[in-house]
Amino acid sequence: MDMETAAEEIKKLVPKEAGLEDLDFEPEFGTVTIEAAKPGLIIGKRGETLREIRNKVIWFPIVKRTPSIPSDIVKVLRDLLYKNSDFRKDFLDRVGKHIHSGWKETEWIRLSALGGFREVGRSCILLQTPESRVLLDCGIKPGTDEFPYLNAPEVDLKKLNAIVLSHAHMDHCGMIPLLYEMGFDGPLYLTAPTRDLMVLLCMDYINLTQKEGKTPAYSTKGIKEAVKHAICLEYGEVSDITPDMRLTLLNSGHILGGSLVHIHIGDGMHNILYTGDIKFDRTALFEPASNNFQRAETILIESTYGSKEDIQPKRIEAETGLVEACKKAVERGGIALVPSFAVERSQDIMAILARAGFDKKVYIDGMIWDATAITTAYPEYLNRELQKLILQQGENPFLNPIFKRIGSQEERMKILEEKEPCVILATSGMLVGGPSVWWLKSLAENSKNMLVFVGYQGEGSLGRRIQKGWKEVPMEVNGKNIAIPVNLEIVTVTGLSGHSDYKQLYNYLSRLKQKPTKILVNHGESSKCLESARNYHASFRTETAALKNLEVIRLK
Ligand SMILES: [Zn+2]
């Protein structure tokens, strides 16, 4: 059917309540993307409505959700992909031809540690067989100029078949656009929310680097190329990515769209699970990490909290602590400042406050709003409780009227002048740049106010110094350096981490369906990697190793 008539027919078939927003036809693929506020109503009972549409217009319908909070990133991305349908068709054709270029016996498998081993930051792993070369993650090490070892002799971007990205934190995704600028032109496998968040964070990285007067490692061109080469998978969807590798992404419980990377190699020869960053506990946002796979002979697991002493308080205690701190501050007429990371932690705090029935204004400042908007585009990636609330009961906690976005300096000044008790959720999480620093400067002197730390404060950050008890902070005000007395109350809430503590890491390994033959650890300080490798060896009686960067291990 021609596009115009088809559009008319679809509009007739879609129920009014579905909130149809947009129709995009892609003749290259024979598809029509239907964007709506309530995609479930377009799909219909057991896919009835969708089937009816397909049979009537003979276009293959794809349903996408309009984010409940308008998101520029989601819109720009969808437009970019739509404009590049031609390119996408040729690209997917090329990728498909390589994948099905004929299967040969896999003789060996080796794994190269290119970054993020015995350290946190610049995560990067190369997985090789005679047939395949696949890169897992490629991140930056925040606060340093240290990049993954892409100059290792076994790395050749021209011969690389694919990149798999576990999740959109800069220490995992931050260098991916650079690989495309350096000439890589293969596929990038990830979940759709990971793609969107990666764009948000990499754009922010470019902006911040430029503001500091430095040159970013790449431009927006690299980000666009990465998006054009992205192949999005859903959790549990099994996909061939090379002639002898089969990929499945599974929920990692860590951030929106965050994935465990499961790779099946050869015909039943070997299975690898790379955890990326993993949370094996239910949080306000996500289900615990999945262990729903049959086999994984090799496990590569993170060890951010890999020491036996790294035990966090119970989640429920942390959540209560946060709510009580905020209530205490507003009840005495103060403002509670919560410096927070834009992705995950902020939405976590929003969900906790909304669920607790917190009824004072919570102002959202910085990149948090964009990350929240992306979250509202993908409710099916949240935990069952939130899905039920959002999709069935129509109660989206992120749309709660207590939340208000701050868009300008005038709005900030107005909040200060009104002196209305409230909570301010602002980036950055460690008080290094971003509006949270401005807020601290404005709120520090009044002892009615409160500063609530909800995340890790890195060594050398302003947050860490205040946590350690600094009573004055040096600040630049109108071009002059002055010391601001810190009179506001300081509260630290621990236990909201998106990483598993030692007990959760251990539980995850002990609940796998099949005992692994190799446990490799990465993503932790040197001492934690070594300690957890030692402990796992003693407990599970299996080979373990804390590889160093640039070490290579043969898996089979
Ligand atoms: Zn992470």
Residue whose structure tokens are 């090799």: 298
Buried b (16+ CB within 10 A) or exposed e, 311-349: ebeebeebbebbbebbbebbeeebbbbbbbbbbbbbbbb
pLDDT recorded at residue 104: 78
CA of 120 to the centre of ligand 1 (A): 10
CA of 171 to the centre of ligand 1 (A): 7
pLDDT recorded at residue 427: 93
pLDDT recorded at residue 431: 92
CA of 266 to the centre of ligand 1 (A): 29
Residues in the chain: 556
CA of 277 to the centre of ligand 1 (A): 5
pLDDT recorded at residue 482: 87
CA of 11 to the centre of ligand 1 (A): 41
CA of 220 to the centre of ligand 1 (A): 22
CA of 365 to the centre of ligand 1 (A): 22
Give the number of other Cβ atoms within 10 Å of residue 156's Cβ: 10
CA of 292 to the centre of ligand 1 (A): 21
- In single-letter form, the type of residue at position 498 comes to G
CA angle 393, 406, 80 (to 5 degrees): 75
Distance from C-alpha of 426 to C-alpha of 337, rounded to nearest angstrom: 8
Residue whose structure tokens are 């650079």: 178
Give the number of other Cβ atoms within 10 Å of residue 58's Cβ: 10
CA of 486 to the centre of ligand 1 (A): 31
CA of 225 to the centre of ligand 1 (A): 23
CA of 338 to the centre of ligand 1 (A): 20
CA of 167 to the centre of ligand 1 (A): 7
- CB-proximal residues (5 Å) to ion ligand 1: 169, 277
CA of 261 to the centre of ligand 1 (A): 14
Token code pair at residue 430: 């460690």
Helix (H) or strand (E) holding 543: strand 543-545
pLDDT recorded at residue 311: 93
pLDDT recorded at residue 142: 81
- Torsion sign across C-alpha atoms 425, 430, 435, 441: positive
Distance from C-alpha of 513 to C-alpha of 496, rounded to nearest angstrom: 28
pLDDT recorded at residue 475: 79
Token code pair at residue 215: 């040159």
**What string of pLDDT tens digits covers the 556 residues of the chain?**
999 999 999 999 999 999 999 999 999 999 999 999 999 999 988 999 999 999 999 999 999 999 999 988 988 998 999 999 999 999 999 999 999 998 778 999 999 999 999 999 999 999 999 999 999 999 999 878 899 999 999 999 999 999 999 999 999 999 999 999 999 999 999 999 999 999 999 999 999 899 889 999 999 999 999 999 999 999 999 999 999 999 999 999 999 999 999 999 998 999 999 999 999 999 999 999 999 999 999 999 999 999 999 999 999 999 999 999 999 999 999 999 999 999 999 999 999 999 999 999 999 999 999 999 999 999 999 999 999 999 989 899 999 999 999 989 999 999 999 989 999 999 989 998 889 999 999 999 999 999 999 998 887 889 999 999 988 888 777 778 889 999 999 999 999 999 999 999 999 999 999 999 999 999 999 999 999 999 999 999 999 999 999 999 999 9
CA of 281 to the centre of ligand 1 (A): 15
CA of 16 to the centre of ligand 1 (A): 40
Token code pair at residue 320: 């209560």
509-518 residue pLDDT tens: 999 999 999 9
pLDDT recorded at residue 241: 97
pLDDT recorded at residue 242: 97
Token code pair at residue 431: 């008080």
Give backbone dihedrals phi and psi of 520, rounded to 5 degrees, phi first. -105, 145
Q: How far is CA 314 from CA 167, 383, 428, 499, in A?
A: 25, 18, 25, 13
CA of 215 to the centre of ligand 1 (A): 25
State the burial class of residue 448 (Cβ atoms within 10 Å of its Cβ: 0-12, 13-18, 19+): middle
DSSP code of residue 158: T
